[in-house]
């Protein structure tokens, strides 16, 4: 199949927001594919960031821009003009190709096929060593020279992972079920076990339903983890779980999946990447568990020398600097906290109820490596347990239904996360960035400031693009432009006059801003037109909230 047909499909998906229409459209498209085309199409529909295949890995934004400019002959100033209009690299590439000043140069006059593009993108991801970037760019140049505007747009979107068609992995499961006449539950289970929807699709296309019916969990093949929904408080969790449930501490760490077979241990991240080299002391700890084979689910948290939890940012250093791990290990201590067992010595345990899985976990590893839990039917006891979690520096609780199975890859009410509600803050917008995609015309990503009473200056305490409607964004953009002090790239710095009410999950210690604090998951609730900047909340108030977060109840 020509790559242009896949590009046309993505254009159709962009033009509708009706979920059922998208599912049906993709199902029909997949039904018309050759067996060998199914995996490439599924991978490229999801893009680099959402598929299991790291298509075109190593080609960054700057490299893509460089090749687009070379192929089209556009000046960089023209490119930035189009980008400011669209806020999207794929859309900008399409415009660049429509206005290209250099005629296409290609040794392959025939049209690109989906299999050919997929194979070259894989080849790009495998290139390493000296001169790797130049070789990657050369392959991309060859592809783009054979693309029309719509194909070039799709190719760039695949490389950046910014598909913006509205078609997600969950919808692809529905489309596959329709295309192959298999139940959504069977597709869901297979994807949970394989953690690769494109591979599941390819197997079904090749051998039918039987190709996935016998799939089983096995060590060193990471599976999709179970996820939690949200409950507003402990009472709602108790009600949804039949009046009694297990509450576990919710940690501010990195989700990990541990696989052990004999003396070999591998650690996989939330995105199912092998991160064993980043966590040597965790690998060593898991080698001590009382099982020959096991797959365990849990978190790793950063702690100080006294065992107190540190903010998530400290943990991130381990994953971002693989080559420096030996040096970083000395300064960042890690603590392993497990909460589930999916497989142990030949037995798949995902279908066992929570209580049985918890008992198996307690028999496998020392108690200090297991997330604290409490089974109760009492709201008062649950709130006291939540208070204790916050006091110890954790995020909150996760309620787990006592009868619940471990549902691979599902976000289920069997698990409910509960976090304390903090009072909203009135903060001042001190800067903003131009948005992307449909928000490209708006200043839509806001820097939030709190007044430092000692200096009289507004200190940045967070950043958010969430909360305002398109109409509010349009009005806010006009106001901010009128208040502009200076502009640096895509960032506009403004006079501190507009006050907004901000919701957030917590205030964290953070090295990101000079004040040493940052709001986590900030979102604007409303614009406080009646307030002046001088009436906004102060840095001193934020510090008090930061200190009192551990005493919510």
Averaged pLDDT in 10-residue chunks for the chain of 553 residues:
97 92 97 96 82 75 92 91 83 94 72 95 91 94 95 94 87 96 93 94 94 92 94 94 98 94 94 90 92 97 85 75 58 90 97 98 94 98 94 91 96 91 87 83 91 86 89 91 87 91 86 86 88 87 78 42
Cite the active site residues: 250
- For 370, phi then psi, to 5°, come to -115, 135
Assign 301 to helix, strand or coil.
strand
Residue given tokens 């549902």 in the structure block: 407
What was the pLDDT predicted at 163? 87
What was the pLDDT predicted at 352? 98
237, 507, 527, 474: CA torsion to nearest 10 = -100
What was the pLDDT predicted at 300? 96
Residue given tokens 């039987």 in the structure block: 210
What was the pLDDT predicted at 505? 80
Domains of the chain: 48-160 (1.10.3260.10), 227-418 (3.30.470.30), 425-551 (2.40.50.140)
Q: What is the Cα–Cα distance from 54 to 122, expressed in whole angstroms?
A: 8
- CA quadruple 73, 75, 79, 82: dihedral positive or negative? negative
Q: What is the Cα–Cα distance from 153 to 47, expressed in whole angstroms?
A: 12
What was the pLDDT predicted at 84? 77
User: Can you read off the two tokens belonging to residue 394?
Assistant: 């954790």
Q: What is the Cα–Cα distance from 160 to 56, expressed in whole angstroms?
A: 9
Whole-prediction pTM value? 0.77
């Amino acid at each position: 199949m020509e790559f242009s047909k896949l590009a046309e499909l993505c254009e159709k998906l962009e033009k509708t927001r009706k979920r059922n229409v998208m599912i049906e459209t993709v199902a029909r498209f997949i039904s018309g594919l050759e067996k060998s085309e199914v995996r490439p199409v599924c991978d490229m529909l999801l893009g680099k960031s959402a598929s299991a295949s790291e298509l075109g890995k190593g080609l960054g934004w700057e490299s893509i821009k460089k090749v687009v400019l070379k192929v089209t002959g556009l000046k960089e100033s023209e490119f930035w003009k189009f980008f400011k209009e669209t806020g999207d690299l794929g859309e900008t590439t399409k415009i660049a190709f429509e206005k290209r000043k250099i005629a296409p140069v290609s040794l392959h006059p025939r049209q690109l096929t989906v299999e050919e593009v997929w194979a070259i993108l894989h080849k790009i991801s495998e290139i390493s060593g000296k001169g790797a970037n130049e070789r990657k760019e050369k392959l991309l140049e060859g592809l783009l020279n054979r693309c029309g505007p719509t194909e070039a747009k799709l190719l760039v979107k695949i490389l950046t992972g910014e598909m913006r068609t509205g078609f997600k992995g969950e919808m692809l499961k529905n489309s596959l079920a329709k295309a192959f006449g298999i139940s959504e539950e069977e597709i869901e289970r297979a994807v949970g076990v394989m953690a690769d929807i494109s591979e599941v699709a390819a197997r079904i296309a090749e051998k039918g339903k039987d190709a996935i019916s016998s799939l089983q969990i096995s060590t060193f093949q990471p599976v999709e983890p179970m996820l939690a929904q949200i409950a507003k408080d402990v009472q709602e969790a108790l009600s949804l779980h039949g009046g009694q449930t297990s509450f576990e501490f919710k940690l501010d760490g990195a989700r990990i999946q541990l696989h052990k077979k004999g003396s070999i241990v591998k650690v996989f991240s939330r995105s199912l990447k092998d991160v064993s080299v980043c966590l040597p002391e965790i690998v060593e700890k898991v080698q001590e568990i009382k099982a020959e084979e096991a797959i365990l689910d849990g978190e790793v948290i950063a702690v100080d020398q006294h065992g107190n939890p540190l903010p998530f940012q400290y943990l991130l250093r381990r994953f971002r600097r693989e080559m420096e791990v030996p040096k970083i290990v000395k300064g960042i201590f890690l603590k392993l906290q497990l909460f589930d067992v999916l497989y142990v010595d030949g037995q798949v345990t995902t279908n066992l109820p929570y209580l049985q899985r918890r008992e198996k976990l307690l028999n496998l590893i020392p108690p200090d490596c297991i997330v604290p839990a409490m089974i109760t039917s009492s709201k008062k006891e649950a709130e006291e347990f939540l208070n204790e979690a916050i006091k110890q520096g954790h995020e909150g609780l996760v309620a787990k239904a006592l009868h619940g199975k471990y549902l691979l890859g599902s976000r289920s009410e069997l698990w409910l996360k509960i976090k304390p509600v903090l009072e909203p803050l009135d903060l001042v917008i001190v800067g903003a960035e131009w948005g992307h995609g449909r928000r490209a015309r708006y200043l839509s990503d806001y820097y939030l400031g709190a007044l430092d009473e000692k200096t009289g200056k507004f200190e940045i305490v967070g950043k958010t693009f969430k909360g305002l409607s398109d109409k509010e964004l349009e009005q806010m953009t006009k106001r901010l432009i009128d208040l502009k002090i200076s502009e640096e790239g895509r960032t506009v710095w403004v006079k501190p006059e507009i006050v907004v009410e901000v919701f957030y999950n917590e205030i964290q210690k953070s090295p990101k801003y000079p004040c040493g604090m940052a709001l986590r998951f900030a979102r604007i609730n409303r614009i406080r037109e009646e307030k002046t900047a001088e009436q906004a909340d102060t840095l001193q108030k934020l510090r008090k909230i930061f200190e009192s977060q551990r005493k919510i109840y």
